[in-house]
């Protein structure tokens, strides 16, 4: 029914010549007898902001868990910058360039804001354990550089003054932002945001939209987000994929998605004649 073939890759014009950030080919996963995601074909351009939407229980977060290797796919293949990600662990996937935030915030909530970001910078800091224990010059140098970098990252969200606060004591919105900062600290090529605007008021959401665009332009990365707030999705996503019952039902620009009969049916049900 949809005008665009959902098996065809869809990425913005400007990213056409480059290897896509991720390319999923027939990705699927079963939990016992339940097929949670099936035949997931998806491509994300190098500087694209993509959206993944769908009704509750459609399998969006499962897709994120597949991309970050929390789950290993039962079927299909996933290429990260053209590289097969088979047998990678979650930590490997992060080192290879995938960072994420969580739907239910997972901060290191008894640690300070700064420590949270420093943990994100873990693989950017280089010194060995003996160097740390005996506090050799490399330790001091690397820690100083990391702290400066962490403060720089926090200042994207204007959070540099909260550096010494305990993460769990921050207001909800700030916790969400801190999670994004922590994900950015891992120096990703792909940032996955799981409902970044959940629980935010309209003006915070508008601000978040600006920030997401700003992050994309500043770090030249691709961003894929799951979101129920259609203003946000339609406002910033260049390509949108719609999932229902674990299957892709539509793919395209915001305009195409808004008018896609399959999508309308999935969200609102069939029109009675």
Partner 1 sequence: MKKKMVHIPMPWRYVINAAAIAVIFLIFMVLSSAGVITNYYSKILMLIGINMILAVSLNLATGYLGQLPLGHAGFMAVGAYASGIFMRTASGLPTGLAVLLSIIIAAVVAGIFGFLIGIPALRLKGDYLAIITLGFGEIIRVVLLNIDSVLGFNFTYGAASLKNIPKTTTFTVTFLCVVVVCFFIHTMMKSRQGRAILSIRENEIAAESCGIKTTYYKTMAFVASAAFAGVAGSLYAGYLGILNPANFGFMKSIEILVMVVLGGMGSMIGSLLSATVLSALPEMLRAFSDYRMVAYSLLLILVMIFKPSGLMGTYDFSFTRLFGGLLGKKTGDSTVGKESGE
What DSSP designation does 96 have?
A: T
Nearest approach, Cβ of residue 122 and partner 1 (Å): 6
Nearest approach, Cβ of residue 223 and partner 1 (Å): 16
Question: DSSP H helical segments within the chain, as ranges?
Answer: 60-67, 90-95, 113-120, 129-133, 137-156, 172-185, 202-219, 230-236, 254-258, 261-268
Nearer of residues 95 and 198 to partner 1, judged by Cβ: 95
Nearest approach, Cβ of residue 261 and partner 1 (Å): 37
State the residues that interact with partner 1 by CB under 8 A.
Answer: 68, 70, 89-91, 94-95, 99-100, 102, 106-111, 115, 118-120, 122-123, 125, 127, 129, 132-135, 139-140, 142-143, 146, 161, 164-165, 182-183, 185-186
Nearer of residues 98 and 242 to partner 1, judged by Cβ: 98
Nearest approach, Cβ of residue 47 and partner 1 (Å): 22
With a CB cutoff of 8 Å and minimum separation 6, the contacts of 172 are 199
Neighbouring C-beta atoms of residue 213, cutoff 10 Å: 14
With a CB cutoff of 8 Å and minimum separation 6, the contacts of 156 are 181, 184, 211, 214, 215, 218
Nearer of residues 16 and 138 to partner 1, judged by Cβ: 138
Q: Are 219 and 151 in contact (CB under 8 A)?
A: no
Burial class (CB in 10 A: 0-12, 13-18, 19+), 50: buried
Retrieve residue 40's tokens.
């997931």
Nearest approach, Cβ of residue 126 and partner 1 (Å): 9
Nearer of residues 28 and 120 to partner 1, judged by Cβ: 120
Nearer of residues 133 and 273 to partner 1, judged by Cβ: 133
């Amino acid at each position: 029914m949809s005008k665009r073939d959902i098996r065809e890759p869809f990425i913005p014009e400007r990213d056409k010549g480059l290897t896509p950030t991720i390319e999923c080919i027939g990705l699927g996963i079963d939990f016992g007898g339940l097929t949670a995601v099936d035949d997931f074909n998806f491509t994300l351009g190098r500087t694209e902001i993509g959206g993944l939407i769908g009704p509750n229980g459609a399998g969006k977060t499962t897709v994120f868990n597949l991309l970050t290797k929390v789950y290993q796919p039962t079927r299909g293949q996933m290429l990260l910058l053209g590289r097969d990600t088979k047998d990678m662990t979650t930590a490997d996937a992060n080192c290879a360039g995938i960072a994420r935030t969580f739907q239910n915030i997972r901060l290191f909530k008894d640690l300070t804001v700064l420590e949270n970001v420093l943990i994100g910078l873990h693989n950017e800091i280089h010194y060995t354990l003996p160097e740390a224990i005996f506090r050799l010059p490399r330790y001091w140098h690397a820690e100083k550089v990391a702290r400066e970098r962490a403060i720089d990252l926090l200042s994207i969200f204007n959070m540099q003054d909260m550096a010494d606060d305990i993460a769990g004591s921050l207001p909800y919105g700030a916790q969400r932002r801190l999670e994004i900062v922590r994900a950015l600290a891992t120096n990703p090529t792909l940032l996955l945001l799981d409902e970044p605007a959940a629980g935010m008021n309209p003006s915070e959401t508008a601000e978040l939209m600006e920030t997401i665009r700003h992050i994309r332009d500043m770090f030249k990365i691709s961003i894929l987000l799951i979101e129920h707030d259609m203003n946000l999705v339609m406002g910033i996503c260049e390509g949108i994929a719609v999932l229902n019952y674990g299957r892709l039902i539509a793919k395209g620009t915001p305009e195409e998605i808004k008018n896609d009969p399959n999508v309308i049916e999935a969200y609102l049900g069939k029109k009675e004649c």
